[in-house]
């Protein structure tokens, strides 16, 4: 029944999906946290930039952003992100960039919601001890904010895992591209769809369960 | 008692430490501080009392610029309060503050709460910071709770940790913003005792409180505020037995007889 799978690198394709997910997750966590810091910071210019970024980027379809990285950044501006002449590498990196740009808007808003759960008194006490703005944010506010939003961040991570399929649009050889190829070549459409659906559930279900448990574990008791 | 903390200046023990000159502040239409003139000398314990909404908490919070002021001038140890930034952070390290709601860092243990400022602001090395933190926690009577998280402690214990956290910075002056108002009655005394002891050791203190007993026994001076103004200031004996202003008489009559 599964004979038709021979000749297709199913695991390899999902491995690319995992790599896309993990690299984009790390990148968007960093950039999203920086955006959140800008949005709660004292500098009006940065607050404005953060707000504008989030409101613009989260309202653009991911497909448009991913296509822009390829058509705009790469083919028009000649940006290769250090990928040399290797199109696979370049497209993979462009896809990661696009996913980071997009996902960080959602990460930023999740973290900002977390910052709002930290009582004002925590920051006031930190300032009263003599910590500067960056220290207040990184030592007191953000650690507590992160603990409050592990659940929402897990949602973003699950969405990101599934969003990596959009990278197929610029030819990154991840799971969705392989699925498209198999659907074109083979007759077992339902089975193929089921296999890929199962593959994604295998990636995302543990993410949700583990992070849900972590969220409870690290919650700040008040 | 141990001789940790309570930094005593080697310079003259007297002199003006905190000076507020014609300080004004508005919250929207509310003129919450009106032409406040207040001078606190080194080693003095000033208790600020008054009805709710009289501006006493705001006054306390302006001294380390947790609240900004609209006009006037505040200086600490001869230096005017700087704008937000490095300078201000440095100055705040010299001004200990204790809040009504304790505000211990909820994600850090009691010990870490008392070590954090020493390590990050004073750049003390970890070992010394821990030694000092443990000594201070012993001193305020919560030494055995060092490895717990704030939420595991009673209110009184949390507030004593908060005092230890402030003392760990060797402050020149300590501000207490209604330190016992959020406490169960039976825990008030354990906090007041720590404060009494601090006062005896010569710490300069500004205490906003409703505890008249503390004002009587520990204060050098009572400042009575109402409607954003300092209505009267006097030694505690004189203020409680013989208030001059009608507003203070009215206030005292309401709180002292029942």
Tens of pLDDT along A112-164?
A: 999 999 999 999 999 999 999 999 999 999 999 999 999 999 999 999 999 99
Instruction: Please check the confidence at residue B7 and state whether its pLDDT lies above 50.
Output: no
Residue A176 near residue A151, CB atoms below 8 Å: no
pTM attached to this predicted model: 0.86
Mean pLDDT of chain B: 91
Residue B168 near residue B132, CB atoms below 8 Å: yes
Instruction: Please check the confidence at residue A4 and state whether its pLDDT lies above 90.
Output: no
Distance CA B218, CA B199 (A): 7
Distance CA A57, CA A54 (A): 5
Handedness of CA B215, B185, B53, B79 (dihedral sign): positive
Instruction: Please check the confidence at residue B10 and state whether its pLDDT lies above 60.
Output: no
Query: How does pLDDT run across B136-174, given as a tens digit for each residue?
Result: 999 999 999 999 999 999 999 999 999 999 999 999 999
The domain that contains A207 carries what CATH number? Answer: 1.10.3720.10
**Tokens 């649009």 identify what position?**
A169
- The count of C-alpha atoms lying within 13 angstroms of the C-alpha of A58, restricted to the half-sphere facing its C-beta, is 17
Q: What is the pLDDT of residue B258?
A: 53
Residues 76-105 of chain B whose Cβ lies under 8 A from any Cβ of chain A: 84-86, 89-97, 99, 101, 103-105
Q: Which of A125, A131, A147 sits opposite B107 (nearest CB)?
A: A147
Domain with A202, as residue range(s), is 3-218
Residue B161 near residue B140, CB atoms below 8 Å: yes
Model confidence at B243, pLDDT cuts 50, 70, 90, reads very high
The total number of structural domains that make up chain B: 1
Residue B96 near residue B118, CB atoms below 8 Å: no
Strand order in the sheet with B79-80: B30-41, B16-27, B71-76, B79-80
Cα separation of the two ends of chain A: 56
Calculate the CA B17 to chain-centre distance.
14
Q: Report the pLDDT averaged over residues B1-6.
A: 44
Query: How does pLDDT run across B58-107, given as a tens digit for each residue?
Result: 999 999 999 999 999 999 998 899 888 888 999 999 999 999 999 999 99
A169 DSSP 8-state letter: G
Q: Which of B64, B101, B151 sits opposite A121 (nearest CB)?
A: B101
What is the percent of chain A where pLDDT is above 90?
Answer: 82
Instruction: Please check the confidence at residue B256 and state whether its pLDDT lies above 80.
Output: no
Distance CA A14, CA A175 (A): 5
The domain that contains B43 carries what CATH number? Answer: 3.40.50.300
Please indicate whether, in this complex, the C-beta atoms of A124 and B66 are within 8 angstroms of each other.
yes
ipTM: 0.88
Q: What is the pLDDT of residue A151?
A: 93
Query: How does pLDDT run across A156-187, given as a tens digit for each residue?
Result: 999 999 999 999 999 999 999 999 999 999 88
The total number of structural domains that make up chain A: 1
Q: Among B96, B214, B103, B95, which Cα is nearest to B158's?
A: B103
Instruction: Please check the confidence at residue B130 and state whether its pLDDT lies above 60.
Output: yes
Q: Among B41, B67, B6, which Cα is nearest to B195's?
A: B6
Q: What is the pLDDT of residue B202?
A: 93
Q: What is the pLDDT of residue B14?
A: 60
Model confidence at B3, pLDDT cuts 50, 70, 90, reads very low
Domain with B107, as residue range(s), is 16-256
Distance CA B25, CA B67 (A): 9
Please indicate whether, in this complex, the C-beta atoms of B92 and A129 are within 8 angstroms of each other.
yes
Is residue B3 included in any domain, yes or no?
no
Handedness of CA A15, A17, A18, A20 (dihedral sign): positive
Model confidence at A81, pLDDT cuts 50, 70, 90, reads confident
Please indicate whether, in this complex, the C-beta atoms of A125 and B117 are within 8 angstroms of each other.
no
């Amino acid at each position: 029944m599964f004979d038709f799978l021979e000749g297709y690198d199913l695991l390899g394709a999902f491995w690319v999906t995992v790599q896309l997910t993990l690299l984009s997750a790390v990148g968007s966590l960093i950039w999203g946290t920086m955006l959140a810091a800008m949005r709660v910071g004292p500098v009006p210019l940065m607050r404005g930039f953060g707000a504008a970024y989030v409101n613009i980027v989260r309202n653009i379809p991911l497909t448009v952003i991913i296509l822009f990285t390829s058509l705009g950044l790469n083919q028009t501006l000649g940006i290769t992100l250090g990928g040399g002449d290797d199109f696979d590498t370049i497209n993979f990196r462009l896809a990661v960039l696009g996913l980071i740009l997009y996902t960080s808007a959602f990460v930023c808003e999740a973290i900002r919601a977390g910052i709002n759960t930290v009582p004002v008194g925590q920051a006031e006490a930190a300032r009263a001890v003599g910590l500067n703005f960056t220290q207040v944010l990184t030592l007191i506010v953000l650690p507590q904010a992160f603990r409050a939003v592990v659940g929402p961040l897990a949602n973003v991570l699950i969405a990101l895992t599934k969003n990596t399929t959009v990278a197929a649009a610029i030819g990154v050889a991840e799971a969705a591209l392989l699925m498209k190829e198999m659907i074109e070549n083979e007759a077992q459409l339902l089975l193929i769809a089921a296999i890929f659906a199962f593959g994604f559930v295998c990636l995302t279900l543990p993410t949700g369960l583990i992070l849900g448990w972590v969220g409870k574990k690290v919650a700040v008791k008040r | 008692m141990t001789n940790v903390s309570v930094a005593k200046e080697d310079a003259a023990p007297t002199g003006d430490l905190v000076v507020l000159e014609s300080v004004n502040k508005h919250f929207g239409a509310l003129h919450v501080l009106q032409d406040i003139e207040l001078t606190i000398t080194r080693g003095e314990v000033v208790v600020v009392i008054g009805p709710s909404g009289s501006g006493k908490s705001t006054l306390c919070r302006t001294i380390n610029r947790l609240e900004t002021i609209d006009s006037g001038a505040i200086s600490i140890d001869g230096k005017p309060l700087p704008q937000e930034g490095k300078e201000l952070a440095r100055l705040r390290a010299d001004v200990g503050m204790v809040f009504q709601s304790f505000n211990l860092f909820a994600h850090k243990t009691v010990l870490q709460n008392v070590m954090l400022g020493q390590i990050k602001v004073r750049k003390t090395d970890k070992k010394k910071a821990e030694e000092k933190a443990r000594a201070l926690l012993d001193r305020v009577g919560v030494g055995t709770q060092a490895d717990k998280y704030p939420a595991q402690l009673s209110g009184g214990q949390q507030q004593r940790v908060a005092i230890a956290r402030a003392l760990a910075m060797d402050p020149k002056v300590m501000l207490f913003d209604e330190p016992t108002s959020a406490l169960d009655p039976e825990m008030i005394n354990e906090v007041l005792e720590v404060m009494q002891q601090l006062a005896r050791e010569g710490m300069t203190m500004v205490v906003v409180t409703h505890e008249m007993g503390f004002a009587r026994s520990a204060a050098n001076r009572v400042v009575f505020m109402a409607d954003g103004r300092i209505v009267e200031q006097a030694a505690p004996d004189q203020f409680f037995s013989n208030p001059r202003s009608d507003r203070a008489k009215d206030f005292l009559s309401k709180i002292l007889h029942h």
